[in-house]
Amino acid sequence: MSKNSTNQDGIRPKDWKEFLVNASERLVGKTEINRQIKSGDFLTACELIKKELGRDDFNTLIKVEFLNPRFTPADIHQHIYNLDSRIFITPNFDKIYDTYANTTSQGSIIIKKFTDEDIVDCIRRPEPLIIKIHGTVDNTDNLIFTRKDYSAARTKYRNFYSIIEALSLTHTFIFIGCGTNDPDIRLLLEDFTFKFPLSKKHHIIMPKNALNIKVKEIVKETMSLNILEYDSSNDHQLLTNSLAALVTLVENKRQDIANTQSW
């Protein structure tokens, strides 16, 4: 989703791979970092970069890449906001969607990080809620971005993961702009699948050919996911258009429910 945004110079945010490749360019350990990137082990690559740069330089790099450019929201952020889902969970630690949603709602949306202790209270209240499961660029010392970060968070913030697990049992998730390799998401859905094999599936939207057909079947079976595919040509324009159409369908359905009082 963030890749749809630009700043006043027309620059788009880097995705995870682009960030890692760019960050490793001048590092002594570039060869090994690139080897990890090519193998798809982004977590280890990020860990190596963070160790070589050190805390201060790594935190500065994060802000330079994801905060200082002042990225502006795109149409896709507007459509997702207009779906009016009360709970929005994002692994993105940039502030593009948060800023748009909070500005558009005149500050009435609650934004919580995985480190906050009152998330359950916010979930049970009626106000819209954004949960940033990997932290925020405002606090770079509490991001989940490297292999060590993921491992430490699962122990230190065990209660938070219990909350997300509970939501997966009581709500249907739809993953937008998110792959299946995030360790937290994979662990959550695999655990859900084998504990409750007869449960309704969650949904994930991804480009056609993003996964090998055999891998796709494994993902469906082991993560209880219904895969919705789209043509990603023209900078994923079809995804943006489809979400715009979905907003209309949702609004019509809500009006129908209100008219028939069938809630």
Predicted pLDDT of residue 126: 95
Predicted pLDDT of residue 127: 96
Predicted pLDDT of residue 116: 97
C-alpha angle 86-111-235 in degrees, rounded to nearest 5: 75
- Find the Cα–Cα–Cα–Cα dihedral 204, 209, 210, 216, rounded to 10°: 60
Q: In what order do the strands lie in the sheet with 174-176?
A: 174-176, 202-207, 225-230
Q: In what order do the strands lie in the sheet with 87-90?
A: 87-90, 129-132, 110-113
Question: In this predicted model, what pLDDT tens digit does every residue of 35-49 receive, in sequence order?
Answer: 999 998 999 999 999
Predicted pLDDT of residue 53: 97
Predicted pLDDT of residue 180: 87
Report the chain's terminal Cα–Cα distance, integer Å.
Answer: 32
With a cut of 50, which residues of the chain have pLDDT below it? none
Predicted pLDDT of residue 223: 95
Residue recorded with tokens 């952020």: 77
State how far Cα 24 lies from the chain centre.
23
Predicted pLDDT of residue 60: 97
Q: What pTM, to 2 d.p., does this model score?
A: 0.93
